[in-house]
Structure 1
Amino acid sequence: MTSRTSKRKSTLGSIDIEGSRVSYEIYNGGLGKRYFDKLGQDLDKIIQVDVSTGVTETRGSVRGRAVKLAIEMKRRDIKHDDIIVMCSRTNTDQVIVVLAALFLGAILAPLDPEFNYKEVLDLMKQLKPKLVFGDSRTIPQFDRIFQAINMNITTVNFNPEVTGTVQFRKLLLTQKEDENFTPSFVENAKTRVAFILPTQGTTGLPKLICLSHENIFVQTVTFLELLGQPEKVISFFPISWFLQMILVCVTLERPVTRIIPTTFTERNACKIIHDFSIKHAILGTDYAMKMANSPAVKDYNLNCLRVVMIGTVNTMKHDVQTLRQLMPHVKFLQCYCLTETGCIAATRADSYSKSIIKPQTAIGPLTMNCRIRIVDPETRKGVGQNCYGELLYTGDGFMLGYLKQPDRTKECMEKGFFKTGDLGMVDEDGWLYVKGRIDDLIIIDDFKFCPLDLEEVIVTHPAVKEAVVIGNDKEIIALVKKLNKDVYLSTNKLQLKDEISPHQNASLSPLTNRMYHCLLPIVLMKSLVRPNGVVLLNYSSGISRGKTLIQHRLEFFSVV
């Protein structure tokens, strides 16, 4: 497939940008039937390798185990459109649950194992699952929740050593593989829900997003087009994350091997990539930067690595420059992806050379069957190319809606387009650029700018490792983390007047001994702000540009 960018005039006078138009046909019957047939074509090929346990499994083994589980789940009265929850650390048994649910026409809702009690409680009230799969770390929390809301739900434990629970492997032993097994037939793949995925990186409770069988199929095709037909792929993210679920489905669609790693550390990542000769990795920007800057890169031969997928909203020009300098043989592909929309734009492996001559903040052209519009955040009128505004989206990747929240689904739409809430721009070649959340814009004297603009300048200072900019309508503060503890800053303010607009005068306070002063937006945190507008905070975690400013304040800092 080739990408062809087209433009058409909208009714609002703006230019709508479209990705390539591609015709495709999904099997009648949905993903369960499709994957059952696909796995049967390459039974002996490796589909997954668990680094921590050494378990290697073929496509035939995965299909056989999934059939056994589907038969047992059916015996337990799991049927079409019943919701199955899965919440555990990544393991080889998760794909069995994915397949078994699809075989029965049930709906799988994978949750992040890092969700807290309040988040999981809220999600359980919405989902009302018939069955829950977890591990020794998450099941105790589920037991507390089900007792609190008076729900009698069976939980299945992936860990075999835990007594007093329904153990996953023993569950499979109760059934034999049926050679005559036939997956359930899904009538309308375009409108039937296959997965319910939670949103990531939100400031409130996670929302639940319904994705259809056809939606997932389209995203697997897009994924394969971007990476260029990979053989082995490694990813450190949980299966509840959209791209990780798509990766799992890619391995069911094609003979691609998924490498299941141990917990991410720079050395672990380098060692695994070296040991398994991995060419393709989904790392995100933070992990990619940590690995590229680590001494471990020199301890292992990583010449095998060819393609790394990184993030977008939390990716700076400085990050892209650094990655390209430290690992010049690797193609770092930017990807702009939301759970609600799928992948909207990305750099493709086969056209990576074009991204080299573009500004480092360029993401790439739009993906297939995708259409976007850029509008002024206030007037809602369309803006031309090379102008930033709110990014609106419509296309085949769009969700069915938020679970049981039709009003919320309706609120996020505007004239048939999804309001992403992100600040985007399209250049004359149809390449997309995204600066961050519109809600994070800081307005002083009617001048608007994105915190990312300041952060880009601050991190170029030789003493700075990371920076996060926050502010209100009067002042701007940058939270700055030093490159290392031995770096001495002779002043409490970094002078960057030559690089920063007169409107953006910032007081840049380095983090020292875990304690510093920080101004909080008075509108959002009024109860915590002292008369002089300053709150003393205790630093308790790392800085992450991928999170919104509200999350930095509420999650990582506590008033002392």
Structure 2
Amino acid sequence: QNLIKLGYGNPDYIFAMAVRNGEHSAPALFACFALGIPVNTMDPSFQRDDLGHILAIAKPKLVFCDSETLGELAAACELTGVTPKVIVLGDKIAGYTHVEDLLVPTGIEDSFVPVNIETPNKQPAVLVCSSGTTGRSKAVSLSHSICIAHVANFFECHPSDILFAYSSLYWLSGLFTLLAGTLAGATRIITRAPFTVQRTLDIAKRYQLTVISLPPSQAWAIVNDPTATADAFRSLRLPLCGGSVVSASLKRAFETRFPGKVLEIAYGFSEVGYAVTTTREGFYRDGSVGFTRPGVEIKIVDENNCAVGIG
């Protein structure tokens, strides 16, 4: 309602976010969903060149931005000529609207009705940045239907689960942790602090994590740290790993270090907002990314779109 008051409630707009996992990031995202406004998620660690590249594609009317990222965002806006309204998260900065200004009571909260999404399979909800493995990152459009059917069902989530990932909403892992956890009624642990092994172990033990999502670099750091004991991950039922190549040696080292915990490898595909393959306990081949998920078909073609043979 406060965004509407500011004149930013038009579903034809595009917003962007470059924020860490603070307490205000999820409310901002869900406000955009309720208004039917697509959100382009960027990483707060982006420098001006990367921010400018994505801003030039999406041309957002409004950007939710961490205070620490504001300088790079301002420079990116100057480089591209894109001039969005900026809402700051984190420290308050003179001259900028702070996200807490949007949280003041309106007195008419009970009368708010979310926008009716008439064609959820066609209307974009999130514009995610692709991984960049085939060139510079692109803004991949995920519809409301995809966010519900794929992103929020990336893994089996239960109301009793306690989830954690360092990933910001820029990463598919950050997005599916938020959406899957919310739809299942699970608990999501958040931190704006960067990854350290000790911080991860402390969070795992203190909050009795049941699901954790890690990129290979973080998983290796944990495996190689002598302070990482099996007791720290005692409550885990599902350690997920993906985002880049997960070697057989990492999978085996993790499972040796933490007996009874199977490191599940997921191959995420930004264009469909889903893990198209996952490994299965008891069926693993070195270097494999697992089996295709239900409803997924894979075809390998050459540069002329012709099917290639085996091997």
Give TM-score scaled by structure 1 length: 0.52
What pairs with 1:47-86 in structure 2 (closer than 5 Å)?
Answer: 71-77=1-7, 78-86=9-17
CA distance in 2, matches of 1:371, 1:242: 20
CA distance in 2, matches of 1:111, 1:324: 33
- TM-align CA RMSD: 2.3
Give the counterpart of 1:335 among 266, 280, 293. 266
- Please tell me the residue identity of whatever aligns with 2:297: R
Alpha-carbon spacing, 1:295–1:151, altered in 2? closer, same or farther (3 Å)? same
Structure 1 counterpart of 2:295: 369
Shift of 1:122: 2.1
Shift of 1:304: 1.4
| Cα-to-partner distance string for 1:56-84 (whole Å, 9 max, x where unaligned) | xxxxxxxxxxxxxxx11112232113101
CA distance in 1, matches of 2:236, 2:96: 41
| Cα-to-partner distance string for 1:109-160 (whole Å, 9 max, x where unaligned) | 1111122211211222221211111121112222233344444422111124
Alpha-carbon spacing, 1:169–1:302, altered in 2? closer, same or farther (3 Å)? same
| Cα-to-partner distance string for 1:16-50 (whole Å, 9 max, x where unaligned) | xxxxxxxxxxxxxxxxxxxxxxxxxxxxxxxxxxx
Alpha-carbon spacing, 1:260–1:189, altered in 2? closer, same or farther (3 Å)? same
CA distance in 2, matches of 1:244, 1:190: 22
Structure 2 counterpart of 1:307: 238
In the comparison of the two structures, how many residue pairs are matched?
Answer: 308
Compare the two structures and name the one with the higher helix fraction.
Answer: 2
CA distance in 1, matches of 2:158, 2:185: 14
Q: What SS does the aligned partner of 1:301 have?
A: helix
What pairs with 1:4-153 in structure 2 (closer than 5 Å)?
Answer: 71-77=1-7, 78-153=9-84
- Please tell me the residue identity of whatever aligns with 2:180: V
Q: What SS does the aligned partner of 2:299 have?
A: strand
Alpha-carbon spacing, 1:160–1:311, altered in 2? closer, same or farther (3 Å)? closer
Alpha-carbon spacing, 1:328–1:135, altered in 2? closer, same or farther (3 Å)? same
CA distance in 1, matches of 2:281, 2:83: 56
| Cα-to-partner distance string for 1:303-355 (whole Å, 9 max, x where unaligned) | 112221012751112112211111122121111112113211113xxxx4333
Shift of 1:260: 0.9
Structure 2 counterpart of 1:256: 186
CA distance in 2, matches of 1:222, 1:332: 19
Q: Is the 8 A contact 1:233 1:279 kept in 2?
A: yes
Give the counterpart of 1:344 among 251, 273, 276. 276
Alpha-carbon spacing, 1:295–1:310, altered in 2? closer, same or farther (3 Å)? same
Q: What SS does the aligned partner of 1:331 have?
A: coil
Q: What SS does the aligned partner of 2:101 have?
A: helix
% identity of equivalent residues: 19
CA distance in 2, matches of 1:152, 1:165: 13
Shift of 1:187: 0.7
Compare the two structures and name the one with the higher strand fraction.
Answer: 1
CA distance in 1, matches of 2:21, 2:63: 15
Q: Give the greater-gyration-radius structure (CA).
A: 1
Q: Is the 8 A contact 2:15 2:63 kept in 1?
A: yes
Q: Is the 8 A contact 1:160 1:168 kept in 2?
A: no
The answer to whether the aligner puts 1:360 opposite 2:286 as a matched pair is yes
What pairs with 1:152-167 in structure 2 (closer than 5 Å)?
Answer: 152-167=83-98
- Please tell me the residue identity of whatever aligns with 1:256: A
Q: Is the 8 A contact 1:283 1:309 kept in 2?
A: yes
The answer to whether the aligner puts 1:275 opposite 2:206 as a matched pair is yes
CA distance in 2, matches of 1:132, 1:312: 25
Give the counterpart of 1:218 among 146, 149, 169. 149
Alpha-carbon spacing, 1:207–1:292, altered in 2? closer, same or farther (3 Å)? same
Q: Is the 8 A contact 1:312 1:334 kept in 2?
A: no
CA distance in 1, matches of 2:233, 2:194: 19
Structure 2 counterpart of 1:184: 115
- Please tell me the residue identity of whatever aligns with 2:288: A
- Please tell me the residue identity of whatever aligns with 2:23: T
| Cα-to-partner distance string for 1:389-429 (whole Å, 9 max, x where unaligned) | xxxxxxxxxxxxxxxxxxxxxxxxxxxxxxxxxxxxxxxxx
CA distance in 2, matches of 1:117, 1:126: 14
Alpha-carbon spacing, 1:377–1:130, altered in 2? closer, same or farther (3 Å)? closer
| Cα-to-partner distance string for 1:358-380 (whole Å, 9 max, x where unaligned) | 32333332223211123466883
CA distance in 2, matches of 1:82, 1:194: 11
Q: Is the 8 A contact 1:131 1:154 kept in 2?
A: yes
What pairs with 1:301-450 in structure 2 (closer than 5 Å)?
Answer: 301-311=232-242, 313-341=244-272, 342-347=274-279, 352-355=280-283, 358-375=284-301, 380-383=306-309, 387-388=310-311
Structure 2 counterpart of 1:233: 163
Q: Is the 8 A contact 2:229 2:258 kept in 1?
A: no
Shift of 1:302: 2.6
Give ranges in structure 2 of 5+ residues lacking alignment: none
Q: What SS does the aligned partner of 1:249 have?
A: helix
CA distance in 2, matches of 1:152, 1:379: 41
CA distance in 1, matches of 2:124, 2:6: 21
Give TM-score scaled by structure 2 length: 0.90
